Amino acid sequence: MTSPANHVSVNGRTYRRKPNPVVVVCVDGCEPEYINEAIEAGQAPFFASLKERGTCLTAECVVPSFTNPNNLSIVTGVPPAVHGICGNFFWDPETREEVMMNDAKYLRTGTLLAAFADAGAKVAVVTAKDKLRSLLGHKLRGVCFSAEKADQVTQASHGITDALALTGMPVPSVYSAALSEFVFAAGVALLARDRPDLMYLSTTDYVQHKAAPGTPAANDFTAMLDRYMGKLDALGATVVITADHGMNAKTDALGRPNIVFLQTRLDAWYGDGATRVILPITDPYVVHHGALGSYATVYLTGTRERDEVAARIAALPGIEAVHTREAGSARFELPPDRVGDLIVVAERLSVIGTTPERHDLSGLDAPLRSHGGVSEQKVPLLANRVATDLPERRWRNFDAFDLALNHLP
Amino acid sequence: MTSPANHVSVNGRTYRRKPNPVVVVCVDGCEPEYINEAIEAGQAPFFASLKERGTCLTAECVVPSFTNPNNLSIVTGVPPAVHGICGNFFWDPETREEVMMNDAKYLRTGTLLAAFADAGAKVAVVTAKDKLRSLLGHKLRGVCFSAEKADQVTQASHGITDALALTGMPVPSVYSAALSEFVFAAGVALLARDRPDLMYLSTTDYVQHKAAPGTPAANDFTAMLDRYMGKLDALGATVVITADHGMNAKTDALGRPNIVFLQTRLDAWYGDGATRVILPITDPYVVHHGALGSYATVYLTGTRERDEVAARIAALPGIEAVHTREAGSARFELPPDRVGDLIVVAERLSVIGTTPERHDLSGLDAPLRSHGGVSEQKVPLLANRVATDLPERRWRNFDAFDLALNHLP
């Protein structure tokens, strides 16, 4: 390895290289209150210690407050307008197909992980679900694997051959808290063994979709998180913890989901086929949320007056705001060519569905909690070092590497 | 008593009279999730039963989402623009004084409780804190007392002489869950003994300011609520349960309050005395929230350009929206002469303070939870009867008596 430069520039930002390992952790669905309540319950001593010896900011994630747009923002340092990933699905009006966006061909810029690796840094990425792996590992010369498929790694594809042996854990179920624990256990083992310069760990929000902050299952999850963060800290890493999005109850007082079936409404108003509602939360793993989030985008395939449609949607109970493609893309920094004619955001306690028959809620064994809207935009941005001379600015979760590399001692 | 008419009209609405007792309960600070989580924990069988045999709407309270404006809206059936009570304090620019608004002389319309009593109905009101009693009991010929001063009642002032003996409970501390329990115990005893035609019970949010939905203290409170609601139900009353406002965490991930010290900012920008920030949550009982809520109103005493001040405030981290007096009063249905030149609403996880030295946070023994903003506007509207032919409209908490009297069998 040649002697590395002191800085790496990527996507318009310059990052310092640091002598000690830096770990950025994205805790899926980590509403700030999960941590705060676990501290109150005495189950998070590492987090509690950060009041004295760390940094705590309340940052804003990308809207739609979904997993992929935010994970990609964190590892590129820029919003979806630049990197192109604004959901799991978009509608291709040319081919008239719903297109899944979890292939790296949809990524419009490189990651800072790949840039650091190209500059000679040792980089490792561990993610919970495999759906994120090919995006996060795009052109990355380093370690990159998922807990979900830790038993199917190859040196050529994943930069590692013994991912499963790292932890001593079996491959966890994709619907389990253990899937996230595997990520942390692997991260700690990699840090101890390989001392990567830069590591990115990203979990799944299976627990957060079911358990409210302060309830036993949530506190147990946060206690697990706390133990592993303490281990990363004890191994000498600079650790920055953030989230892809928050999480809120989406139910009425009796626990029944508040769902706006938007395609049903639009079909009743304008007829079948005149509009198409896309729910970019939809992915192959929907058992725990029924593909119900607080964000949708609407394509008008007919000749409808857009402002009139927007006003009718905005008047529906449970809808917080409707933006045109142009206004919404500007406000949320999204790629206009991958959103519909309208962007629809639901209120904090509501979600948007298409039609009742297209949502299988049979897997919801707890009252629905979900995300996607502006109401889930506030996320923690924590570090195990005291930041010096922190600028007063709108901090984003995709400033996590900037904070870690440029603002911490 | 003369034979009563079948209807009572007050403040532009007509209410049916019903043969069986009607009880409206305002649970202070009842974010819908408190009920939902207690059901999940198996601690709220009465509420759980309402899925089958009741009605559950998600309604909107009045903004500012504070106790007095909403209690007065519920008992008058109209918003503060009509009844005049838009907080605990307003600033009188003539006398240059902060004026407390808990005197009935500030009430601009009569209550439906008084109107029913005048029409011959037997009416009873029990409230937790005494601060609400004179407003709720304005010109009411009936029973009206507070748990806080249940030992100081007279027939002339409160319409009852044995308020304390009703329950067998001692006068509770003003900072306790027992203060609310006293309200329910008294309500059940009055219902059993006197069979009032109309009863209004209003609690205090001491527990909700401290405990998140689903945590042990919150579930215990909701279990207590559930038991008493079950007793009212078993006694044959039509019961409608709503809230004055919701409740949210107002802290960062480590549990420290997110406070925008607005007077400090304004003084730094424009000098001392150029502006005056009023926090209408302030009242004599601030130990549990430090007078910190998510709503403020600002008077400009100098000649400052209002739009410029509004824009600077709106750009502060933690601020959700700033409205002019005219726009804010129209949007939130407030009396323009009792709000400042600007209305400021904080984001869900933030509160507004004046200056650090004017807020005593020493009584906060748990991470701050509070209300006041649009983020606390969603409240439950529940009934123990199935509503028939419910109109699709924007339901408000101040439709509680309308729901009970006009829409339930």
Is B315 an interface residue toward A (CB < 8 Å)?
Answer: no
Q: Are residues B383 and B235 in the same domain?
A: yes
**Structural domain count of chain B:** 2
Given this model, what pLDDT does residue A286 score? 64
Both B37 and B109 in one domain: the answer is: yes
Distance from CA of A51 to the nearest CA of B (A): 7
DSSP structure string for A375-403: GG-EEEEEESS--SS---S--BGGGHHHI
Residue A92 has a pLDDT of: 82
Q: How far is A345 from chain B (nearest CA, A)?
A: 15
Which of A30, A36, A258 is the best residue to mutate to test the B interface, defined by the most B CB atoms within 10 Å of its own CB? A36
This model of the complex carries an ipTM of 0.92
Mapped onto helix, strand or coil, the DSSP state of residue A273 is coil
Q: Looking at the structure, do residues B275 and B189 belong to the same domain, yes or no?
A: no
Same domain, B113 and B218: yes
Mean pLDDT of all residues belonging to chain A? 94
Q: Does the CB of B26 have a partner CB in chain A at under 8 Å?
A: no
**Band of the pLDDT at A209, cuts 50, 70, 90?**
very high
Over residues A304-345, the pLDDT tens digits come to 689 999 999 999 999 999 999 999 999 999 999 999 999 999
Please give the residue range of the domain that contains residue A350: 259-370
Q: Is residue B1 part of a domain?
A: no
Contact A154, A161 (CB under 8 A): yes
CATH number at residue A390: 3.40.720.10
Asked if B33 and A366 come within 8 Å (Cβ–Cβ), the reply is no
CB < 8 Å to A40, chain B? 255, 366-367
Find the range with the poorest average confidence among A126-130, A396-400, B173-177: B173-177
pLDDT tens-digit readout, B355-372: 999 998 888 889 999 999
Strand, helix or coil at A277? strand
With beta carbons less than 8 A apart as the criterion, state whether B72 and B109 touch: no
pLDDT of residue A2: 39
Q: Are residues B241 and B382 in the same domain?
A: yes
Residue B3 confidence (pLDDT): 41
Range A253-270 average pLDDT: 96
Tell whether B258 is within 8 A of chain A (Cβ). Answer: yes
Q: B347 vs A378: CB contact, 8 Å cut-off? A: yes
pLDDT reported for residue B284: 65
What is the per-residue DSSP string for A65-99?
A: --HHHHHHHHHHTS-HHHH---SSEEEETTTTEEE
Per-residue pLDDT, B286: 64
Task: Report B:56-85 residues touching A (Cβ under 8 A).
Answer: 56-58
pLDDT at A285: 65
pTM of the model: 0.94
Q: Please state, for a pLDDT cut of 70, what percent of chain A lies above it.
A: 97
Report percent pLDDT > 90 for chain A.
86
CB atoms < 10 A from the CB of B150, how many?
A: 25
Please count the residue pairs, one from chain A and one from chain B, whose beta carbons lie less than 8 angstroms apart: 117
- pLDDT by residue (tens digit) across A124-134? 999 999 989 99
| Per-residue pLDDT tens over the stretch A160-180 | 999 999 999 999 998 899 999
Compare all CA atoms of chain B with the CA of A368 and give the residue at the minimum distance. B36
Q: Are residues B150 and B296 in the same domain?
A: no
Are both A78 and A184 inside the same structural domain? yes
Chain B contact for A265 (CB, 8 A cutoff): no
pLDDT at B1 over 60: no
- Report the residue from B56, B347, B392 with minimal CB separation from A253: B56
Cβ of B349 within 8 Å of Cβ of A36? The answer is no
Tell whether B394 lies on the interface with A, counting CB pairs under 8 A: yes
Residues of A in contact with B30 (CB under 8 A): 253
Long-range contacts of the stretch B181-184 (C-beta < 8 A, 24+): B181/B224, B181/B228, B182/B128, B182/B147, B182/B150, B183/B126, B183/B127, B183/B128, B183/B147, B184/B224, B184/B225, B184/B228, B184/B229
Closest Cα in chain B to A375 = B348
Asked if the Cβ–Cβ distance from B36 to A251 is below 8 Å, we say: yes
Q: Angle A6-A7-A13 (CA atoms, 0-180°, nearest 5)?
A: 170
Asked whether residue A235 falls in the same domain as residue A289, the answer is no
User: What per-residue confidence (pLDDT) applies to A1?
Assistant: 36
The pLDDT confidence band at residue A287, using thresholds 50, 70 and 90, is low
Count CA atoms within 13 Å of residue B408 on its CB side: 29
Residue B352 is part of a domain; what is its CATH number? 3.30.1360.110
Give the contacts of B10 (CB within 8 A, at least 6 positions apart): B76, B77, B110, B111, B112, B115
Query: Are B146 and B65 in the same domain?
Result: yes
pLDDT tens, residue by residue, B218-274: 999 999 999 999 999 999 999 999 999 999 999 999 999 999 999 999 999 999 989
